[in-house]
Structure 1
């Protein structure tokens, strides 16, 4: 995680946030430039992860993301992107960071940030 969350980003903010820890699921993708899950099946970084962390850092309160790959025991995707987003509705996770396409059919599960 050191590559994802730099020392400056781990500084404690003075104001407490609504959720000090945020469970963030990450989809498995072949585009490692956006999301990179290493051989140990840990989220290692990528553009989408960096932007997510940078955005959290800009909040006026501290939030520590806990990245969890949306994968099975074989290291394969644990389902479709729609199934991943349904996990938020079911409260299994609190956010998703990755290359998720904004589609009208997915709005019933989640709210999207502006791309």
Structure 2
């Protein structure tokens, strides 16, 4: 498994990150609409994004080049989140649901704040 090394700026900017140790999965009927409706809130919260990008790569949602481009071309966490959300929403419902599950695993407290 490839782990990305993006520096520690995400950790420094994140106040809500946590690890969900439970295997609790969530189901959202329309994950694309959920991401669209919560787009600004997700960006404003600035969750740590490195692990999410790693998981998107590991689960073959993003190719290595996409992840590298997001990190290299978008210097702030907010820009990386924005680009990721836009790319995921273009890919369709399955990719959106995968991102929602990954976000729930890495940032359960953030997910509880968002409108379902």
Q: Give the TM interval when normalised to the shorter protein.
A: under 0.3
Structure ranking higher in helix proportion: 2
Asked which structure has the greater CA Rg, the reply is: 1
- Give the TM-score, by structure 2 length: 0.26
Higher relative contact order (CA 8 A, sep 6+): 2
- Give the TM-score, by structure 1 length: 0.26
Structure ranking higher in strand proportion: 1
